[in-house]
Structure 1
Amino acid sequence: MLTGRHLFVKLFLGNALLMVLVLGACIWSIVRYVDGARADELTEHLKTRAETVCYLVRDRFEPDHGPELDAFIKGLSSTTAGDMRITLILPDGRVLADSQANPREMGNHADRQEIRQAFMNGWGKQVRSSDTLGHRMKYVAVRLGSLENPLGVIRVAMSSTTIMERSEAVQRLVWTVGLIGLATVVVLAFGLARLWSEPIRRITRTAYDVSRGDLSARVQVRGDDELSRLARAINDMRDHLAWQMATIDRQRRTSDALLAQLHEGVIVASPKGRMILMNPAARKMLGLEHPCMNDERGSAVEGMLVEECVAKHELQRMLLCREEEPGALADSGMAEARLHIQRPREGPLSILARAWDITLPGGNHSEGGAVTEQPVVGRLLVLTDITQLTEAMQIKVDFAANASHELRTPLSAIRAAVETLQNCDLSEDATSARHFIGMIDKHSRRMEQMVRDLLDLSRIETAPAQFQPKGVNLRGLLNELNERHAEALANRRIEWKCDLLMTGEMVMVNPYLLRITLDNLIDNAIKFTEPGGRVWVGCRNLPVEGDVGRSLEIAVADNGIGIAEEEQLRVFERFYQVERARSGSLRGTGLGLAIVRHAVAAMKGTVRLQSSLGNGTTVTILLPQPAESATLAARS
């Protein structure tokens, strides 16, 4: 390890030193090049400015125009080149005008090097200290006129301070790049050093991690030397161990997923009455909120006493049940019980609990703090939610009781009327006879209607899938219903109104279900609307909204007696009738709205009721329409 560390230090220092020297030489060259290019650019700029001034003053460059030129130069400098000094010099060296000084107070400039160069070569330059301003400046002078007949020299100067300020930004950029390059050099040197010293350390660290159980560790193999072959051998060992562990983990996760997705609750206990596992369905059924049961599988309860996790004494006895206890079978310890649990929010729950013995593998089940290696016989408890089955059975019992009661009433009235007719003299009391015959007819019709409604309801509930949608002419169906109820509407002087607010008349519904639904709704509307009232049927197509396709909305409304708010939730129950309907002369069977609810559900629709006492009732059904219904509507 010491040798590797020395090697790393040597590689790092050598690489870093070499890269720093190369980087320093590059930066020095770049700085020199940038300074030279900047100086040339500045010289060209000053020369261009001087030539521009020559063009502006060439027609007036005479001693007589000195004051005028001096004022012009000072104005030009203040408006266009405030950081430059412009000087106009006559061929004899006298200063004709200057942008920053009084020309009469300035000495003769004939001996200035840039002036001599300008007269000889057309232009000249020099960097020196200004006798007038007292600081270093860069001068560029341009001759005005020809070599044989020069009119003078235009000199433009810029302070070296201004030049340095303009160069500082470029220099800062260069040095910033240099510093970044230096940091990059250090990083690269460090990386190169690690490239050669890290393989052995990586192999050692990976082997140590694998020995500690971390199968995600893997050596990166490059090349084909001895170290690479050693790394490949360690990777092969890691892959084999990872495959074995993945197989075990996959089997465990499959078991956990099955337990978590079972609708039945599953509880396993050891022979000593300690918990092994409890799945989420069991926790939900029993309403258990123990802090140790927050994991998906419920295996965190392992080792706890059954009494600590299961509060129901019946279930405790089944999990601890042995062959000699009541309710157990001698061959397998089978036990069965039904429980009814009251839940505050979800409502009552009925559970079928069955328990029997199972053989558990040894080596992982704590028995009083010890782990047994031998297979043991534990207890398996399966909880099945039979709430719906219990409710269905109760509904059948209630239905039979209600049907018997509803049938008994007209039968009793018919029997009483028949007995009265048998004991009376029909020739002497014809009026009473007609009364009792009418009573028999009325109650027999009611029984006939009740039997018809029961058959319709049974047919809808038994096989709702058999009612497939077909193309139906909605206006024709409504006209048919109007004709059917025309007599009842006329007898009660009720106004009928039908609005078909649709672009077409064809819809995709089951004709039998839609007819029986509207027939019951219209029949109820007529029954419970006072004479002189109104019954309205409206139909319209609802547009597509989000994921919901086209729908057909049909509303049946009346201005009749209405339904009290406390009774609106129960009117769709079988044989339920509101108080005023129960005591009225046109009492129904109590099955009409129950048939409506089941028929609409068979058409995959929804039904909504709105009503208030004295203001009538509106029942709205919403039926989904398949895509082909739009084509049918367009054709119609």
Structure 2
Amino acid sequence: MKQFRNRLTLIMLTLIGLSMLGAGLAMVKVFKQSHIQLLEDNMIREIRLLQTMMDFPDTDSPDAVEYYTNRSLQLEELSDARVTFITKDGRVIGDSESNPVTMDNHAYREEVLEAGKTGKGSTIRRSSTLGQDMLYVALPVKVGDSFDGFVRLSLSLSQVDNGVRQGWTVMGIGLAILFLAASLLSIRVAKGLTSPLEKITRVARRIARLEYDARVNINRKDEIGQLAKAINGMADSLQTQVRTIRDNEDLLQSVLNNMTGGIVMVNGSGRIMLVNRAAERMLGIDAEVITGKSYRELKQHYELTKLMKEGLDNRISFHEERNLYYPVESIIRLDGVPMVQEDGAYRGMLFLLQDVSDIRRLERMRSEFVANVSHELKTPLAAVKGFAETLLGGGVSDEKTARSFLQIIYDESERLNRLIGDILELSSIESKRVQMDYSPIHLQAFFETISEMMRTVAEKKRISLELDVPEELFMEGDEDKLRQIFMNLLSNAINYTQEGGRVKLTAREKLHNGQSEDIVQFIVKDSGIGIPKKDLPRIFERFYRVDKARSRGSGGTGLGLSIVKHLVDMHHGRIHVESELGVGSSFIIELPVLQEQEEAGI
């Protein structure tokens, strides 16, 4: 902008200088012409005055040349101009500067010819006699029969040139002063024009740098003020539009990032244009790295890229499921949708990824659950039916044998009753229909009650049942559900511990760096047969049995640990197992001291 201001100032000064120079030249020319015209008019008046006051003897007399020469000399002293008398035929008979006898014929001189035609003749030319520019003025003069010719006055223009030079000097000084004043005014005007333009330019550059809050602070009513208002209006419009676009982008990005399903957008040339967080997590990729590259870069997912290629080639929708093994083994449902604009232009394919591993696992578990329930129900029912048919058929006459058959029927009925009860309990828990009734619990008294109930069973197997619960330990929980948790765990510990073994329940407040975490840790430890490491991840599944024959023989339903896991979750706690085969197992439960009361929905 500074260069523009300098150029503008230079242009203005140049225009002013040229204008002033042109005006000066015109003024000098007018001055010179007016001065010459004034001299010419004076010389005409002088000739006419001579015509009326001077005697004109006959030009053919012998002393005519001398007479007219003397008169020309006298007149030159009076008028300060060269005087020449010329006859009609152009012969010079008198001149104040030269000898008439030696002078050329003047009949064809410009001023003489013009005077003969128009009655007045004038011209400016360089005198060969005097060697300077001269103004020649001639008038025809006729006095009776004695003189018929021309009287010519000539005057050197050196005086005119001197006047012009003086005029140039005065005018030059004036023009210089005027030019200086005009220069200062031009600089001020240029600055007044460019300064607001500089502000507008700076604001425009800030807007170009995405600083949409920039505004032009110019209060003018001219075109520059209108331009400033237009720039501010444009900035307001841009700021509003950009804010709307950013809000929409943020909303869209938030939606994409928080979607549970993955999205991969591939353009028509096969380049990945968009990947959301869910897709990053499912495919084990980084959006910043993969965006802009070919979908073939997903080399670790061969089946996936094969489906993408088919979708891009055929441009049709499809729905497929594939197993992925990286970054973790999972089952992915891939939906391909062609992206076509309203004008029919093909933009590529949109691939929607949904991790259906949990759904398929649940379907498998449901199927296994139905199969397990059918099997668990079928076994005791077959026993009941078989022994009942034997008794009804009269095949047993021995009362002792009959009584043992009835005992088996009773035991199997009890087992069916427990199984059905556990199934209903688990179903109720999983459907969230169980209401939690939290209350303060004194843990030592609570476990003393449970110990009394379990001690008889433990004594039958000569198993030592120990409690290690501080007297001051309290917590908040649902007493019935907690009793169900620990009854199941202690019952399992006793059932899977050999005779003469040991089962111990420990309760402690969990500490971290000497500070309480408001968590109570419970450990149910036994010296039983232990659990193989490969079975540890699945022991909380429904009907999962480590040793099916041993479990069934112990009277278990296979649902106890699954119920325990759900009840611990309902208390906002955690449970895990540590076990060593042949040494024993430890079930570790961590429950919060205080339970968060869930507000009922309105």
Which band: TM-score by shorter chain? 0.5 to 0.7
8 A contact 2:529–2:582 mirrored in 1: yes
Aligned partner (choices 323, 335, 353) of residue 335 of structure 2: 353
Secondary structure class of the residue paired with 1:203 = helix
Question: Counterparts in 2 of 1:311-330, with a 5 A limit?
Answer: 311-314=304-307, 316-317=309-310
Aligned partner (choices 257, 280, 290) of residue 254 of structure 2: 257
Q: For 1:295-345, what per-residue CA distance to the aligned partner results, in whole angstroms no more than 9, with x for missing partners? A: 89x6x47999999999444455556667xxxxxxxxxx8x55241322233
Aligned partner (choices 276, 280, 287) of residue 280 of structure 1: 276
Secondary structure class of the residue paired with 1:569 = helix
Q: For 1:209-262, what per-residue CA distance to the aligned partner results, in whole angstroms no more than 9, with x for missing partners? A: 369675559477589899995767644543443333333343334333323332
What residue in structure 2 maps to residue 606 of structure 1? 574
Aligned partner (choices 445, 457, 468) of residue 499 of structure 1: 468
8 A contact 2:334–2:354 mirrored in 1: yes
Aligned partner (choices 526, 530, 553) of residue 558 of structure 1: 526
Q: For 1:414-437, what per-residue CA distance to the aligned partner results, in whole angstroms no more than 9, with x for missing partners? A: 33333443455433x334333333
8 A contact 1:500–1:540 mirrored in 2: yes
8 A contact 1:209–1:217 mirrored in 2: no
Kindly state the Cα deviation for residue 611 of structure 1 after the two structures are TM-superposed: 2.5
8 A contact 1:502–1:541 mirrored in 2: no
Q: Which amino acid aligns with 2:288?
A: N
Identity of aligned residues (%): 26
What residue in structure 1 maps to residue 543 of structure 2? 575
Question: Counterparts in 2 of 1:74-473, with a 5 A limit?
Answer: 199=195, 202-203=198-199, 205-206=201-202, 209=205, 215=211, 218=214, 221=217, 234-266=231-263, 277-280=273-276, 283-284=279-280, 287=283, 289=285, 294=288, 300=292, 311-314=304-307, 316-317=309-310, 337-351=319-333, 353=335, 355=337, 360=341, 381-423=351-393, 425-427=395-397, 429-463=398-432, 466-473=435-442
8 A contact 1:528–1:561 mirrored in 2: yes
8 A contact 1:275–1:306 mirrored in 2: no
The more displaced of 236-245 and 377-386 is: 377-386
Secondary structure class of the residue paired with 1:562 = coil
Aligned partner (choices 507, 514, 538) of residue 539 of structure 1: 507
Mark the CA change 1:503 to 1:303 in structure 2 (over 3 Å): closer, same or farther: closer
Distance 2:369 2:319 in 1: 27
Kindly state the Cα deviation for residue 522 of structure 1 after the two structures are TM-superposed: 1.1
Question: Counterparts in 2 of 1:472-487, with a 5 A limit?
Answer: 472-487=441-456
Q: Which amino acid aligns with 1:206?
A: R
Q: For 1:256-305, what per-residue CA distance to the aligned partner results, in whole angstroms no more than 9, with x for missing partners? A: 332333223345677x786785441574377385x9x5289x6x479999
Kindly state the Cα deviation for residue 606 of structure 1 after the two structures are TM-superposed: 0.8
8 A contact 2:422–2:559 mirrored in 1: yes
Secondary structure class of the residue paired with 2:538 = coil
Distance 1:466 1:258 in 2: 35
8 A contact 1:559–1:615 mirrored in 2: yes
What residue in structure 1 maps to residue 123 of structure 2? none
Q: Which amino acid aligns with 2:371?
A: A
Secondary structure class of the residue paired with 1:248 = helix
8 A contact 2:464–2:501 mirrored in 1: yes
Mark the CA change 1:439 to 1:309 in structure 2 (over 3 Å): closer, same or farther: closer
Mark the CA change 1:481 to 1:200 in structure 2 (over 3 Å): closer, same or farther: same
Mark the CA change 1:572 to 1:215 in structure 2 (over 3 Å): closer, same or farther: closer
Distance 1:438 1:421 in 2: 12
Distance 1:391 1:621 in 2: 26
Kindly state the Cα deviation for residue 402 of structure 1 after the two structures are TM-superposed: 1.5
8 A contact 1:552–1:622 mirrored in 2: yes
Q: Which amino acid aligns with 2:252?
A: S
Q: TM-score, normalised by structure 2?
A: 0.57
Could you list the runs of 5+ residues in structure 1 that have no partner in the other structure? Answer: 7-194, 323-332, 363-373, 630-636
Distance 2:396 2:4 in 1: 133
Q: For 1:372-415, what per-residue CA distance to the aligned partner results, in whole angstroms no more than 9, with x for missing partners? A: xx777986554433332222222111111122122222223333
8 A contact 1:407–1:447 mirrored in 2: yes
